[in-house]
Amino acid sequence: DAGVIQSPRHEVTEMGQEVTLRCKPISGHNSLFWYRQTMMRGLELLIYFNNNVPIDDSGMPEDRFSAKMPNASFSTLKIQPSEPRDSAVYFCASSFIGRGDEQYFGPGTRLTVT
């Protein structure tokens, strides 16, 4: 298996622009997580899906952030409009609940908003 795939790996955009981050989880996994990592706040869970259904989005910072999982093999995290304080590394992770529960992380997307 190729592991969790994220794209793009790097994104530089201007304040006010829309940003879409993409994730392909490991085939067969039934849960997917989006995290944000910054020096100041560490690793924060933004939203969690189970069987493509959002279960907990309490970590989503504000309405500018939205996430979707239209099918078991694809998820997006969208920021609209983006702000400089959104600059961070965004990770996607997937796991299979009931089988070890460990999460497998993608390589992350480094987002810079100028």
Q: Taking the complex as a whole, how short is the minimal distance between the CB of residue 81 and other proteins, in angstroms?
A: 26
Q: Taking the complex as a whole, how short is the minimal distance between the CB of residue 111 and other proteins, in angstroms?
A: 13
Report yes or no: 37 and 88 within 8 Å, Cβ to Cβ.
yes
Nearest CA-CA partner of 17 in 69, 80, 75: 80
By CB under 8 A, name the binding residues for other proteins.
Answer: 31, 33, 37, 42-43, 45, 48, 50, 55-56, 89, 91, 93, 97, 100-105, 107-108, 110
Quote the tokens at residue 24.
């392909």
Q: Taking the complex as a whole, how short is the minimal distance between the CB of residue 80 and other proteins, in angstroms?
A: 25
Q: d(Cα 72, Cα 79) in Å, to the nearest integer?
A: 21
